[in-house]
Structure 1
């Protein structure tokens, strides 16, 4: 019993180590997307590259892609060839986290001259060159600088050549350099805390602890899958797409303690950058399944292993190099809802309605021809789907979990003014349980000059989040551009939005779907919604 307690304490301690690693990154990152929105993740791995623990702070798309990414590093740099002070880096979309904006940094940890673990971290940096954060590129070569697996530091000496290449290709060179060095620092903190833990528990390495974590996690994940009835279920989802609507099709097959997702029948890869690389598809598919099947099982290599994802090469969920992939979360972050659609057939009445899904990234910029140049990012959040026993969450990012960027930060970093950022009444789908309410954001420039905004990630304008069990769909999104005289035009598609001098941009985010028949809603809850301005009338 004492041994079991000691082992559990060490496991919990390991999780606290990676959480401190992530918090270090959160506090030292230069870019607002990482620092304010928390678009990052951190984890610890055994000497075989198997993820043992992930930080609570971070996104599933980052953590679950990194579960595989560290193995790619070790294939290029076997652990036996590394020495203390070495640090590795890449932002390869297919071997990292899905697009060029995410740098992954891996640091081996040594004790008494022997490697004992690896730490990895990643975050979204604001600019990597190319066309910027748009879906307009026709190939990944146009999307920015790609850093293959390289040594960022050799035996403790920073490789300034790598950083110089990144900075020379970025419109925000200071932030780009700062974010990468923040990743290095976060790994260093994790390594230091791990070595302190080994001293405290009188351990030479974490090998025995790693085997315990992986064995127990695999057992728990397989037991959770086994509780589902055997069967096969199919779901489809239609999205706005870029040049044409996208059809996502998933077939979920469960037998015993093994589960397979097959995306056969999904649309072919887009000619523009909304494609989801297989690593990102895997990450969010498995996340969606674990949310309903095994939410209490810790996320690591062993708990992810029983879930298998199949996708046809060349499809929108498995694009091949050099397909453009900048806005990969347009597809990837919709996949948990697609998994919910499959599981609803096995868990009838226990699955939430659809959410807004992919976050709307407001990447806004201006070149010198228009006025004082700038390049900033903000984040728009829609509503989540209503749950079987609760309303959906308003202005909340599911499944990514990222937060918003404060208005003050955006205004301090650019000549922009955020005139409105407020709840959008009636955007949540009606139902016994209401869908989460979205928000309206209206932005102009205080110097009166024009600017541009990428619409790469703006989806669910033609295909709203669907309700469940009789609930109504959420309100679809909408984008409007106002001229200096107040004339309004609706922006369609995912191309770049051009806001004229003296004009404003207004975005209405999509709301979450409702759950259950609207007439069944508690009158007191409906009255409270009306009082709080979340709905405009008291009709059920």
Structure 2
């Protein structure tokens, strides 16, 4: 094959590159120690050219990791110039402003060599459950309280692991076994990617990725611009109230569609707060662009080219552009609302293509404690039990129930949570009537009752939203049900902040439902009957919203 492959060859190699990063991601998932990685797939994996442009990402992964990792590699290149990279090197950081938004995400980047020549870079991210400090909760008043802060460092130097750095990592976590294992799993998956890329280049007889990279970037950018050209031009605005930490916050967006792209500006959004729900601009950009991509470019591969026409700005110091050293541990609570902000703007321009509001932010039940009879090197247990509410009603379908949109993570299996902690699930079921009524019903939330079986209390690092301000319906659809956190005894708990759950007590969590879309009276009676028969709605809801009497 010539050094200038034809279009068909380039397309085949592009597809192969996506397969390579898919393999990279599966290695990460299968070798990880933390349940949130191996069970819930809270990761990202991708391949980059020597300019730091993301060429392909694994389909598995969360937008917050993938789209922020797309920029993180440029920071690695800035700190470790291309000419200084050697075969067998690997670099690491968890800097929230150069990585994926909080300290619990490690990003590792590895140079890829082929026949002794540097040809590209592999990068990956995963969520580590504990990296010390106050932990993965919102209590800290600055980022330094939230855990171990790793600047841009070399983790592996020509095959030799930085044992000093690994000792520091082990010493600054309650889960040294898990944290060390997860770090090595990140490095290992990049190594697999490097080998797979070299094998691909051998197969196709190429010694550089440059022609393929230019093809991928140019074609993807052109495809997105072609979709944008079909949209009406102008500026549309949307606002949303969210619970905040101890007072409500306002999110404001202005979305402008032009011939050159789509820009979203968050001027008018509330200022950053003193607790860890602030969002670095990298994470804001990641979820904003994901929301845009879902509507405008859903069938176009995600890479530097397809992301280029989508731009984001937010005033420095607002909660969506928090400045260091603001606390940011629970940045997903606000950041994952941003696709709904995008949809709120776009529904004014293209109303038939966007859903009603959903729960949006995942409802991670973050628990931590020490088991009296626990043995081993770990200092107690720490677990994020990933749970989800409902998504909003869609133009042609109901919302999805108990589904993590926009994060895309899987729910933690009950069996895994019970093995990893002293918790017992007594209930985990759909929450009837939680989806907002509409022509298209909002997705349902969940009801969970979780008992502490130990003789010792455990800590709940609460980080929940949509309790004061539930997902809103659209075009006459009803709002989804608000979330709730409390105890079986009836005590209501705060939606955010560390709280202690006594031994033998049951934690009760009700996740929100998605908003309904369209007039509930226009809902197909057969669907109403099916909802009734499946226990998704009550007879009262059927009669009040849909005018259908239960038989």
The alignment's TM-score, normalised by the length of structure 2, stands at: 0.95
2:328 to 296, 321, 325: 325
Unaligned runs of 5+ residues in structure 2 are 547-551
Aligned to 1:234: 237
Aligned to 2:210: 207
1:351 to 348, 354, 360: 354
1:465 to 471, 474, 477: 471
Q: CA deviation at 1:368?
A: 6.9
Q: 1:371 to 1:497 in 2, by over 3 A?
A: farther
Unaligned runs of 5+ residues in structure 1 are none
Aligned to 2:549: none
1:491 to 484, 490, 493: 493
Q: CA deviation at 1:367?
A: 4.2
Aligned to 1:447: 454
Matches within 5 A, 1:219-258: 219-258=222-261
- Tell me if the contact between 1:370 and 1:450 (Cα under 8 Å) persists in the aligned partners: no
- Aligned partners of 2:239 and 2:72: how far apart in 1? 29
1:399 to 400, 403, 406: 406
- Aligned partners of 1:296 and 1:442: how far apart in 2? 39
Matched, 1:339 2:342: yes
Matched, 1:15 2:11: no
- Tell me if the contact between 2:175 and 2:381 (Cα under 8 Å) persists in the aligned partners: no
Moved more, 492-501 or 5-14: 492-501
Aligned to 2:421: 414
- Aligned partners of 1:16 and 1:523: how far apart in 2? 45
Aligned to 1:474: 480
- Aligned partners of 1:448 and 1:171: how far apart in 2? 20
- Aligned partners of 2:374 and 2:473: how far apart in 1? 45
Query: Residue 341 of structure 2: SS of its match in structure 1?
Result: helix
Query: Residue 345 of structure 1: SS of its match in structure 2?
Result: helix
Cα deviations by residue, 1:126-155 (Å, 9 ceiling, x for unpaired): 100000111010000100001111111000
Matches within 5 A, 1:164-175: 164-175=167-178
- Tell me if the contact between 1:370 and 1:449 (Cα under 8 Å) persists in the aligned partners: no
Q: CA deviation at 1:299?
A: 0.7
Matches within 5 A, 1:150-169: 150-169=153-172
Aligned to 2:40: 37
- Aligned partners of 2:181 and 2:455: how far apart in 1? 31
- Tell me if the contact between 1:224 and 1:294 (Cα under 8 Å) persists in the aligned partners: yes
Aligned to 1:51: 54
- Aligned partners of 2:159 and 2:104: how far apart in 1? 25
Q: 1:148 to 1:530 in 2, by over 3 A?
A: same
Q: CA deviation at 1:448?
A: 4.3
- Tell me if the contact between 2:443 and 2:514 (Cα under 8 Å) persists in the aligned partners: yes
Q: CA deviation at 1:369?
A: 8.8
Cα deviations by residue, 1:201-231 (Å, 9 ceiling, x for unpaired): 0011111100100110111111111211110
Q: CA deviation at 1:302?
A: 1.3
Aligned to 2:298: 295
Q: CA deviation at 1:80?
A: 0.5
Q: CA deviation at 1:447?
A: 2.7
Aligned to 2:432: 425
Query: Residue 192 of structure 1: SS of its match in structure 2?
Result: helix
Cα deviations by residue, 1:427-478 (Å, 9 ceiling, x for unpaired): 111111111111111111223432121112x000010111112111110100
The alignment's TM-score, normalised by the length of structure 1, stands at: 0.97
Q: CA deviation at 1:257?
A: 2.6
- Tell me if the contact between 2:402 and 2:446 (Cα under 8 Å) persists in the aligned partners: yes
- Aligned partners of 1:173 and 1:462: how far apart in 2? 38
Aligned to 2:271: 268
Cα deviations by residue, 1:48-95 (Å, 9 ceiling, x for unpaired): 111000000001110000110000000000011010000000000000
- Aligned partners of 1:8 and 1:114: how far apart in 2? 24
2:149 to 142, 146, 151: 146
Cα deviations by residue, 1:3-31 (Å, 9 ceiling, x for unpaired): 22221111100001001111111111100
Aligned to 1:507: 509
Q: CA deviation at 1:371?
A: 9.3
Cα deviations by residue, 1:479-527 (Å, 9 ceiling, x for unpaired): 1113xxxx31111241112212221101000011111110111111111
Query: Residue 257 of structure 2: SS of its match in structure 1?
Result: strand
Aligned to 2:518: 516
Query: Residue 348 of structure 2: SS of its match in structure 1?
Result: coil
Query: Residue 309 of structure 1: SS of its match in structure 2?
Result: strand
- Aligned partners of 1:251 and 1:363: how far apart in 2? 34
1:89 to 85, 88, 92: 92
Count matched residues.
Answer: 534
- Aligned partners of 2:352 and 2:223: how far apart in 1? 24
* Pairwise CA RMSD: 1.4
Query: Residue 189 of structure 1: SS of its match in structure 2?
Result: helix
Matches within 5 A, 1:81-160: 81-160=84-163
